Amino acid sequence: MDKTIICELCGIEIPNKSINHSYCTHCKSIMDSTIACVRQNIETTNRIRLCYYCCKKLKKTERKVCKECRFILHKELRRKYVQRVFYKKQRLKYDITYKKSKHGKLNNLNNNRLRRARLHNVRHTYTQQEWNRKVAETKGICPMCNKNVGVEKLTLDHIIPISKVANDYEYTINDVQPLCNRCNASKKDRKGELK
């Protein structure tokens, strides 16, 4: 014969079908939801928060990092920032002084020439020594205007302009000539070798 058990919450008699029943089905569902809410609150309020770097227990006012680690991180970040700014300024000073030097100017001109050649898909088959020899032969005098401008002021002029040649054109030392900057700019993209 089944025993009847009285529900602890509402006092209703319920038939004993299982061993551990002390509540009716309605009260049991209420109790389960209440216990779940209480457990969740306990877990969120008693959660131990640790520092991300040193794993010390955090205070309520601290978020992810403790005060000591924040101070160390701030110093480290500040040091890196100062280093970056310092090296950037040093690099800028070096670049300016290098570009003003004779070697830097020649290198800059050569790089610009190579960049333009890459853009138009042309090649230069002569070497830098051949070009320097051709410039030295002029002794700093521009062949177009016959003015003495100096060897450093002479620029490379393509007799057949880069914009007028076909793709994969190869420039030899005979296809280029040294001109002063003014004459080279006034020639623009016209063809022709100067006398």
Q: Where are the chain's structural domains? A: 4-45, 121-187
Return d(Cα 176, Cα 174) in angstroms, integer. Answer: 6
Q: Which CATH number fits domain 121-187: 1.10.30.50, 3.20.20.150, 1.10.238.10, 3.30.1280.10?
A: 1.10.30.50
Q: What is the pLDDT of residues 82-105, one digit of tens each?
A: 888 888 888 888 888 888 898 888
pLDDT at 49: 76
Token digits of residue 27: 């009260």
If you average pLDDT over residues 165-183, what whole number do you get? 91
What is the average pLDDT across 161-166? 87
Amino acid 16: pLDDT: 67
pLDDT of res. 43: 45
- Both tokens of 64, joined, read 């992810």
Give the torsion sign (CA, 153, 154, 156, 161): positive
pLDDT band for position 13 (50/70/90)? confident
Alpha carbons 141 and 149: distance in angstroms, whole number: 6
Return mean pLDDT, the chain.
80
3-state SS assignment for residue 137: helix
What is the pLDDT at residue 180? 92
